[in-house]
Structure 1
Amino acid sequence: MTAASTPPHLHPHRIVFLDRDSLIATVRPPAFAHSWEEYAHTKGSEQTVSRLQGASIAITNKVPLRAAELAQLPDLKMIAVAATGTDILDLAACRERGIVVANIRDYARATVPEHTLALMLALRRQLVAYRADVEAGLWQASERFCLFGHPIRDLAGSRLGLLGYGALGKSVAQLGRAFGMQVQVHNRSPIEDDGVTQVSFDELLATSDVLSLHLPLTDKTRNIIGAQELARMQPTSLLINTARGGLVDEAALADALKNGVIAGAGFDVLSKEPPLPDNPLLRLRLPNFILTPHTAWASGEAMQKLADILIGNVEAFERGAPVNVVA
């Protein structure tokens, strides 16, 4: 823990960062009088409440703050989320208590789309499968100069389906078009984009060669891709998820991959993180499934931009003109 040298009682704001180790970046001090405490990580409701006693501003990336915790924190005036997703918070309880919630937006327009395309390319080009073949000595024993065995398909000419079309979805669409993909989208609101076709959810599932998810996790989107939705996809299709793990029924996906219902999947997120050992996707040992540990957002450039926006959100709140407000 670190704290400002000036006695906290002289400061109008006490700021507590609950999980500082979740952000590898320089976090500049807010440009107003304050005390500052930061913890590498915070676990459990009791520790969360204890550390936030007397705090007016809480900074959290993945430490939950539900109604039960908020009820014990009468001094809390703002929660600055060091991420885009706010499913860790009880937003209704925040509104009831007049707690301003601000999140981070538009910081990952390069890093998440690049990771998304990397997963698509790795699966379409069978990189995992062919690397395993080389490590097993199959290329060395081949009678030809090259090794076949896993079908390779181009992204060019294929149909990229996007479920959700916010800032990240639009950036993925731009990269997809650069690779020669035809882009189609299912989104709640109408889209005005000459390079994109808007389709129904059923059509998106049935006709996308690569389906990429770019939705927030809400009660309505939880498990939006389950066994029935996977069955409506083509057996040659890929499913990519760099958004939220809870969007997909993980047991259904594991079954679909093992039984050839779809051709492959690339995930950067799971329903619970860190994952539990019994998560069905962790047990998969298939060359057509790639799982990365929630790192799509984590380029050095993106994390520094996030840190700068984070403190900007805190400063805007202190000025009485909050920005990026969620609740």
Structure 2
Amino acid sequence: MNIVVLDAATLAGVDLSPLHEFGTVTTYEYTSPSEVDSRIQQANIIVSNKVQLNGAHFAIAPELKLICVAATGTNNIDLVAAKDAGIAVTNVAGYSTPSVVQHTFTLLGNLMSNIHRYAADTKLGAWQNSRMFCRLDHSINDIANKRFVIVGYGNLGQATAKVAEAFGAKVIIAERPNSKATRSGRMAFEDAMKIADIVSIHCPLTPQTENLFNVETLSLLPKHAILINTARGGIVNEQALADALANNQIAAAGVDVLSVEPADADNPLIKYQGDNLMLTPHTAWASQESITRLILGIAENITSYLDGGQHNRVV
């Protein structure tokens, strides 16, 4: 088997030896659109995280049998064209849950305890020049007893809820917006927003959730609310969030994802300079352990395919 890894840099240098069991592995740290054709022509299996692959690519790769998406989302693959070409496509789900949950609470804990502000002040000498043993320049608040609203209650939302409960928070599961009925154990979306102390987003990006957090939605939140987004950037209207932070319409936000990635220098959240925003470069998923689980999951997918199985088959 000829296996081609098109964007190995996204795997952070984690050991790829599980893939070598299946044949020759050729790795490229990055692959630009103009480089795809020459790199996949002899491939039997492609591993790609974010490199776009479509029908034109499949036409020049006659030996291609399997595309292993090194992620959960498969929007970088033209699935219809893959099916028409008889190419199987797999993904890996659930591998990053511990990492994303940890990142969610890292962002939240920093914001609620203002750790980033205190650390910056200490570097500038504030503690060294203090007249008392500590500094209390910025507010510090507990997660305990806060109304912790979760938007999206799949594996990630459920795992986040467990940790929130361990902190002593009062977990509220938001119903889908514009839903005609509220399921047992959930609260209507707008009602949940109106009472939220913390909102953590874990839903997928769909036509129904795109720009879900817009001017109108953000205006529902209490002024002390904190918004955390480790899901997808397009779920939050970035200009609306930047304005809400600048105007103290909400207290703070922790964001790991943007609508366009890599980040555009003109993105409102990139340009925003307030210290009530913590912005990280889509790293919530990327613990070393998560990426190791991802690679092992890809190896399992290849094994299943070669054995005639359907494990994690998308197409």
The one-letter code sitting in structure 2 at the alignment partner of 1:111 is: S
Higher fraction of helix:
2
Partner Cα distance (2:249, 2:58) in 1: 44
Aligned: 1:243 with 2:231: yes
Q: Which deviates the most, 114-123 or 55-64? A: 55-64
Deviation at 1:312, TM superposition (A): 0.9
- String of CA shifts for 1:118-139, please: whole Å, max 9, x gaps: 1111101111122233233333
Counterparts of residues 303-318 of structure 1 (less than 5 Å)? 303-318=291-306
Deviation at 1:117, TM superposition (A): 0.8
Deviation at 1:216, TM superposition (A): 2.1
Gaps of 5+ in 2: none
Partner Cα distance (2:54, 2:267) in 1: 25
The answer as to whether partners of 1:129 and 1:288 remain within 8 angstroms in 2 is no
Counterparts of residues 1-327 of structure 1 (less than 5 Å)? 13-23=1-11, 24-30=13-19, 34-44=23-33, 46-70=34-58, 72-186=60-174, 197-327=185-315
The one-letter code sitting in structure 2 at the alignment partner of 1:265 is: A
Q: Which deviates the most, 119-128 or 218-227? A: 218-227
Partner Cα distance (1:246, 1:314) in 2: 32
Partner Cα distance (1:103, 1:296) in 2: 18
Deviation at 1:271, TM superposition (A): 1.9
Deviation at 1:83, TM superposition (A): 1.2
SS at match of 1:198: coil
- String of CA shifts for 1:181-229, please: whole Å, max 9, x gaps: 1111135599999xxx412221232222111111222333222222221
Partner Cα distance (2:287, 2:37) in 1: 31
The answer as to whether partners of 1:18 and 1:38 remain within 8 angstroms in 2 is yes
Change (3 A) 1:203 1:192: closer
**TM-score normalised to the size of structure 2?**
0.89
Q: Which deviates the most, 84-93 or 239-248? A: 84-93
Gaps of 5+ in 1: 1-12
Deviation at 1:29, TM superposition (A): 4.5
Partner Cα distance (1:232, 1:34) in 2: 55
Partner Cα distance (1:183, 1:78) in 2: 41
Partner Cα distance (2:128, 2:7) in 1: 48
The one-letter code sitting in structure 1 at the alignment partner of 2:30 is: H
Say how many residue pairs are matched.
Answer: 311
SS at match of 1:282: helix
Partner Cα distance (1:261, 1:88) in 2: 36
**TM-score normalised to the size of structure 1?**
0.86
Change (3 A) 1:101 1:217: farther
Partner Cα distance (2:85, 2:92) in 1: 22
- String of CA shifts for 1:233-289, please: whole Å, max 9, x gaps: 111111111122222111221111111111111111222222122222112222211
Partner Cα distance (1:73, 1:40) in 2: 20
Partner Cα distance (2:182, 2:50) in 1: 32
The one-letter code sitting in structure 1 at the alignment partner of 2:163 is: L
The answer as to whether partners of 1:87 and 1:217 remain within 8 angstroms in 2 is no
Change (3 A) 1:50 1:186: farther
